[in-house]
């Protein structure tokens, strides 16, 4: 039976206050329950309990039978570090830039507390084993009682309840590079309509199902330990994935396979008064992982701080069911994009603010670890894909709308279809309201003045409503906005000038009347992000000399990393016009990096760019060597956190 919530929601939505404060005691709760979080990486619900007939996940299935399964659960971002920032802080990453970018070092305001700090104040002994990857400047050792591979509830004081987080890296994306025989065979899997149905793709899918079975065994081992220690009936157990899966068009992309995650909560009979529904229930209302810290605080009996935007799913005060789950994409490793999305569980609406960029931009690590990406790319270059399969490598529509019931592969865009008009209107409005409510920072160029939770609320630096209008106008590719964009190139606001220049870039040849204005920006604008976008636009209008020279100079090693990435991004998208920059590009491609000290994104971009400009690029020649793959799969926590902040400076 499906329940959207327990028949009577307890006490309404969780209170929002300026600081954590105790709630009224609940009769019968003499002490607090233990809490165990079991976290898997990079996986959709390839799980039997979610209806997957191919999956073999008996331990997670068993947990679901006696727990509560959230059918429409989503990560806030389709990648780990921004998603983990949201879970740690309860703050939308895109409202505390640069936390929304993959692999960054955002500054968490000192007055904001993370959930382990608040839970420790409530009396919990807090353990994290081992992954952090919080995408911000929080010191993990300062917020946890125990941080690292030695953390276990068995080492917790007996006079305190514990909050113990175990992370398994078994399903992380680098493991798909291995080739191990398992229960699931290539002929057993279904290949979605957007992918070519090849032996390579089938092998990757089968490999991933078998990885999921291995991960399920780890979950079962932890649950057995809990039972053997006599703690299973005094411990609330959460199992969830930190972001969507890694198979093609999953991780890093704002479709169901990039954002949808498993979430199962088991609440023992002793603590059923904290549950939102009866054991064995399925909750269909959409939830996101940003609801998790609110849920912990509600279980502990303390109110969530004002900056936390989630809704408690269980505890003393359970929030009313939500109508929508929101998601986003900004920079993913070395590639920039700006995507915002919302779903109600039936429909998914996607807004692409940078539709001139291909959906499937080349991401070095993505291509390295997964053979099906490399083969997909090779078939594209050979012209052997159907239109549906080739869409991944093409510029995007400004808006997308999918009926998830009729079209689970999300290939039939209904944005202009009569059947989708009502849903599109409703979801557009919901997304706009959400972006304004959280103060979405996505329109601010990375590295520009105004980054940060409070800084971005200065409307003289970041006029969000105005920027949303300008960015939407840019993405619509309407030549009637030409004069508007040209005028806005003189705005005193860096972000406005950036989006005005991007509007002209997206217009392409239709922007020719603004060529002189763009040349002026390239020559004299004080903000490098504006100059980079204008330079790319100017190259498209046949004026490459000064523009390419600027991009080469900004891509060189003396500039801040975000500026270098933005310059390389532009160079990657101007085709053979980038050839004069080859000396700089080759220098970066041949650079010897010191791991965890030197940033690797410029080198990745430069290596790819050299190959494409010299005509030698062959995606089938990419990929980890067998030894490198073996080393990667033996190191499930090889990506535990952001690079040192020094890597983001000159």
Give the residue numbers annotated as catalytic, written as ranges: 80
Which residue, chain included where needed, has tokens 């175990």?
A: 166
Question: How close are the terminal C-alpha atoms of the chain, in Å?
Answer: 58
Q: Compute the distance between CA of residue 284 and CA of residue 344 in angstroms, rounded to an integer.
A: 10
Token pair 């703050």 in the structure block, residue: 91
Helix (H, G, I), strand (E, B) or coil at 631: helix
Residue 452 DSSP label:
S
Residue 30 neighbours by CB distance under 10 Å: 6
DSSP for 232-255? GGGEEEEEEESS---STT-TTSSS
CA distance 376 to 198: 9
- Assign residue 77 a region: left if phi > 0, alpha if psi is -120 to 50, beta otherwise? beta
**CB burial readout 195-219, b (16+ within 10 A) else e:** bbebebbbbbbbbbbbbbbebbebb
Residue 545: exposed, middle, or buried by beta-carbon count in 10 A (0-12, 13-18, 19+)? exposed
Handedness of CA 153, 156, 157, 162 (dihedral sign): negative
At a CB cut-off of 8 Å and minimum separation 6, what does 611 contact? 617, 618
Pairing of strands 125-129, 162-168: parallel
Which residues, including other chains, have CB under 8 Å from residue 272's CB and lie 6 or more apart?
279
**CB-based contact 237:266 (threshold 8 Å):** yes
The answer to whether 489 touches 371, Cβ cutoff 8 Å, is no
Q: What angle do CA 332, 335, 338 make, to 5 degrees?
A: 70
Positive or negative, the CA dihedral 296, 439, 110, 146 is positive
CA angle 466, 472, 474 (to 5 degrees): 105
Q: State the DSSP code for 342.
A: E
């Amino acid at each position: 039976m499906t329940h959207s919530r327990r028949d009577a929601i307890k006490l309404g939505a969780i209170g929002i206050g300026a600081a954590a404060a105790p709630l009224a005691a609940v009769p019968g709760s003499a002490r607090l329950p233990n809490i165990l979080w079991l976290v898997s990486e990079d996986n959709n619900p390839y799980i039997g309990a979610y209806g997957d007939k191919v999956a073999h996940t008996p331990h997670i299935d068993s947990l679901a039978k006696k727990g509560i399964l959230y059918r429409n659960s989503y990560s806030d971002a389709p990648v780990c570090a921004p998603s983990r920032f949201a879970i740690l802080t309860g703050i939308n990453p895109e409202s505390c830039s640069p936390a929304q970018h993959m692999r960054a070092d955002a500054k968490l305001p000192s007055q904001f507390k993370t959930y382990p700090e608040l839970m420790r104040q409530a009396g919990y002994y807090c353990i994290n084993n081992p992954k952090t990857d919080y995408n911000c400047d929080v010191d993990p050792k300062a917020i946890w009682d125990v941080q690292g591979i030695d953390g276990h509830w068995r080492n917790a004081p007996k006079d305190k309840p514990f909050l113990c987080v175990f992370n398994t890296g078994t399903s992380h994306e680098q493991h798909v590079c291995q080739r191990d025989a398992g229960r699931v065979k290539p002929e057993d899997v279904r290949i979605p309509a957007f992918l070519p149905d090849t032996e390579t793709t089938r092998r990757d899918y089968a490999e991933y199902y078998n990885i999921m079975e291995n991960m399920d065994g780890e979950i079962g081992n932890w649950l057995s330990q809990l039972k053997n220690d006599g703690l299973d009936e005094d411990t609330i157990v959460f199992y969830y994935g930190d972001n969507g899966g890694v198979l093609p068009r999953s991780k890093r992309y704002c479709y169901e396979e990039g954002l949808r995650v498993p979430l199962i909560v088991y609440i023992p009979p002793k603590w059923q008064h904290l549950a939102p529904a009866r054991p064995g229930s399925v909750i269909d209302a959409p939830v996101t992982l940003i609801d998790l810290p609110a849920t912990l605080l509600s279980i502990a009996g303390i109110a969530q701080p004002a900056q936390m935007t989630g809704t408690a799913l269980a505890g003393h005060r359970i929030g009313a069911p939500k109508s929508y789950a929101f998601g986003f994409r900004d920079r993913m490793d070395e590639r920039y994009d700006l995507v915002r999305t919302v779903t109600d569980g039936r429909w998914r609406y996607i807004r692409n603010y940078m539709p001139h960029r291909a959906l499937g931009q080349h991401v070095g690590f993505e291509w390295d670890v997964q053979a099906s990406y490399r083969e997909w790319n090779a078939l594209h270059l050979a012209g052997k894909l159907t239109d549906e399969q080739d869409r991944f490598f093409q510029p995007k529509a400004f808006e997308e709308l999918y009926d998830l019931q009729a079209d689970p592969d999300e290939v039939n865009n209904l944005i202009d279809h009569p059947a989708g008009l009502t849903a599109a209107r409703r979801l557009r409005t919901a997304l706009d309201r959400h972006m304004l409510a959280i103060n979405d920072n996505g329109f601010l160029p990375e590295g520009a003045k105004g980054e940060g939770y409070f800084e971005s609320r200065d409307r003289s630096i970041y006029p969000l409503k105005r920027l949303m209008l300008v960015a939407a106008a840019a993405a619509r590719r309407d030549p009637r906005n030409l004069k508007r964009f040209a005028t806005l190139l003189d705005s005193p606001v860096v972000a406005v000038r950036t989006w005005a220049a991007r509007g002209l870039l997206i217009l392409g040849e239709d922007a020719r009347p603004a060529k002189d204005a763009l040349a002026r920006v390239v020559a004299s604008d004080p903000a490098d992000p504006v100059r980079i976008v204008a330079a790319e636009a100017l190259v498209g209008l046949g004026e490459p000399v000064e523009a390419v020279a600027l991009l080469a100079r900004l891509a060189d090693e003396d500039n801040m990393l975000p500026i270098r990435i933005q310059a390389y991004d532009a160079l990657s998208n101007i085709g053979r016009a980038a050839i004069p920059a080859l000396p700089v590009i080759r220098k970066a491609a041949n650079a010897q990096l010191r791991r965890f000290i030197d940033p690797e994104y410029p080198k990745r971009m430069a290596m790819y760019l050299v190959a494409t400009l010299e005509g030698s690029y062959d995606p089938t020649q990419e990929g980890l060597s067998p030894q490198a793959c073996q080393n990667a799969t033996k190191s499930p926590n090889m990506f535990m956190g952001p690079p040192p902040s020094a890597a983001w400076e000159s």
